[in-house]
Amino acid sequence: MQMACPTLRTSTGLQTFKGEIQKSGYDLKKWRENTRLRPNLEILDYDGGKGWDLATKLICERGFFRRGRLSAASALRHPYFLLGGDQAVGVLAKLSASK
């Protein structure tokens, strides 16, 4: 989330995020609807929302037996990281054009 959202890179932004995500029960979708930070999440929404899907699977409460959150190995196999070179260039071009 910090890589995608510069507002979460400050100590204050990160502390606010931690408090808000805890209050939302580690439900990133609920956090997105209610956050005071109003971060720009466009980069996570590109390519059919693959980045957002990955983020929601990484930022969630672990259940019994520490299940529920993707492992690092599983996260690296997520479709978000399988963008081909041309697709990655396209996503970056869209971001540059939107500024």
Contacts of 46 (CB under 8 A, 6+ apart): 91, 94, 95
Predicted model pTM = 0.72
Q: What is the pLDDT along the chain (99 residues), one digit of tens a residue?
A: 898 888 899 999 999 999 999 999 999 999 999 998 888 898 899 889 999 999 999 998 776 666 678 888 888 888 887 765 556 566 666 666 665
Q: How far apart are CA 40 and CA 46, in angstroms?
A: 12
Count CA atoms within 13 Å of residue 93 on its CB side.
6
Angle ∠(11,34,80) on CA atoms, nearest 5: 75
